[in-house]
Structure 1
Amino acid sequence: MATIFDGYWIVRTTNQIAKLQQVESEFMKYSLDIFALSETRCKGIGKETLDQGNMYIYSGRSYGVGREWIGMMMTSRTEKALIDWRAVNSRLLLPKFKSKQCNQSIIVCYTPTNDSPEERKDEYYEELLSVIDEIHVRDMKIVIGDFNAKVGRNNQGIENLMGIEGLDKFANENGAHFVSFCGKSCVIMEFLLNM
């Protein structure tokens, strides 16, 4: 598989045919290879071929209402490089693609909102780190999604993780979680590279 051109969109729903067709049209318009999506509202776990031949995989709760559901759209060419995919839960999706240099594992994620209980956010980040940890050491790891975070501009003590171009002066709670996650995942990556 050649270089991937990817995008991300909070779509609010794809469980209506017209909305899914609109998302596919935007996907085609920008000549993307993959399109990570959140708030799809597609219940359960599934894989389907769309009207224009693109593939759509998704993961969500099979009950209730909410915004947790996620998915990924990919071209038929990109689908040929798809080795496997796993719906971790309604907030994490893990497709793996074959590539010339190394396999590419893409983690599509949708973080709980800032007003979610701390325990829920902690569980989410533990699960995300666990998913990253299980990916083969030689795979390229790409994390894409909505982290519902504001990291602010204050990067004192974490200059190696972020610049000063964030919105607002200070981070919100999710921003602090996100920066902590970046620090932990960088440590994991550094550890793996030094093996």
Structure 2
Amino acid sequence: MGRPDFRGPRDWKLGTWNCRSLNFDGSDRILSNELRVRGLEVVALQEVCWTGKDHREYGDYTMYWSGGNTRELGTAFIVLGEMSKRVIGWWPVNDRMCRLRIKGRFFNLSIINVHSPHMGSDADDKDAFYELLDREYRKCPKHDVKIVIGDLNAQVGQEEEFRPVIGRFSAHQQTNENGLRLIDFATSRNMAIRSTFFQHTSLYKYTWRSPNDTETQIDHVLIDGRHFSDIIDVRTYRGADIDSDHYLVVAKLRQRLSEVNKIRYRRPQRYNLERLKDPEVATQSARELEAALPDEGELAEASLEACW
């Protein structure tokens, strides 16, 4: 019945990947192998093309998916290794959105996996998507580290007027219409589009290859401003292959995570209050309590931090 064992800060990898279907034989095994060799622990997936909403354990990884009635779209999380034991909540929303909660030491993490409508979609569909995203964001506990990650179908530029919501190292110079919607959402929720803050070559910024072989950055990682510095890098990994036109995007985080597999229930200490009815016991307890408390002079001289 020892105390919960919490490790100090450590780096871990959170990814996002539009995999363009996991509907072929062995797809989940191929996917998990690609992620495992790169040290990924949690990955948000888009276009898995699975129906329904469920979760299932497969050996050393767990899949949580949120699909529709047909084998189109569909979002999911794959959680690998020991990180599976830190999952404390899972909420399927629809085929474009789902949410996962992970146990931390000081702050838990709420991660929203999203797949935004593309540029040519109806404005009403885009409005409905961001209204739903805002509702899901507001459901996240107040003190959680809040991350929005996925295929946002949005090009974000380098315009100074949008800083500090965006950084100086986006792959693009100008923000497109979908990018403006993303910036509006991030601004309203005091978030930063962290995928635009790290200086890499274009090779490690572009996230999608179009049919005519032009490349763009449309998959992003956002984090709430209070925990801005928790993400220490974002880049793409081109070697990962699951027959998709999107590249794997990886965010490296530095946080304190709980070793939840070592946490045990500790029964609260029970006190025999009946003994306080004995005058001698009550007097002795009062003396011990008085001796343990600092006097008024010590409190007056102590700093607020020391008193706390």
Structure 1 unmatched runs, 5+:
none
Per-residue CA deviations over 1:71-116 (Å, capped at 9, x if unaligned) read 1111241111111101011111111111111111111111111111
* 1:122 and 2:127 are equivalent in the alignment: yes
Per-residue CA deviations over 1:106-127 (Å, capped at 9, x if unaligned) read 1111111111101111111111
* 1:54 and 2:61 are equivalent in the alignment: yes
Q: Which amino acid aligns with 1:167?
A: A
Q: Which residue of 2 aligns with 1:182?
A: 186
Q: Which amino acid aligns with 1:143?
A: V
Give the Cα–Cα distance (whole angstroms) in 1 for the partners of residues 104 and 168 of structure 2. Answer: 34
Per-residue CA deviations over 1:125-174 (Å, capped at 9, x if unaligned) read 11111111111111111111111101123x24222211333334322211
Structure number with greater CO (CA < 8 Å, separation at least 6) is 2
Deviation at 1:59, TM superposition (A): 0.7
Deviation at 1:190, TM superposition (A): 7.3
Q: Which residue of 2 aligns with 1:151?
A: 156
Q: Which residue of 2 aligns with 1:160?
A: 164
Q: Which residue of 2 aligns with 1:37?
A: 45
Give the Cα–Cα distance (whole angstroms) in 2 for the partners of residues 80 and 92 of structure 1. Answer: 22
Q: Among the aligned pairs, what percent are the same residue?
A: 25
1:68-87 matches, within 5 Å, as 68-87=73-92
* 1:13 and 2:17 are equivalent in the alignment: no
Give the Cα–Cα distance (whole angstroms) in 2 for the partners of residues 84 and 164 of structure 1. Answer: 35
TM-score calculated relative to the size of structure 2:
0.57
Deviation at 1:53, TM superposition (A): 2.0
* 1:90 and 2:104 are equivalent in the alignment: no
The runs of at least 4 consecutive aligned structure 1 residues that moved more than 6 Å come to none
How many residues were matched structurally?
A: 186
Give the Cα–Cα distance (whole angstroms) in 1 for the partners of residues 168 and 80 of structure 2. Answer: 36
Structure 2 unmatched runs, 5+:
1-5, 192-223, 227-308
TM-score calculated relative to the size of structure 1:
0.87
Q: Rg larger in 1 or in 2? A: 2
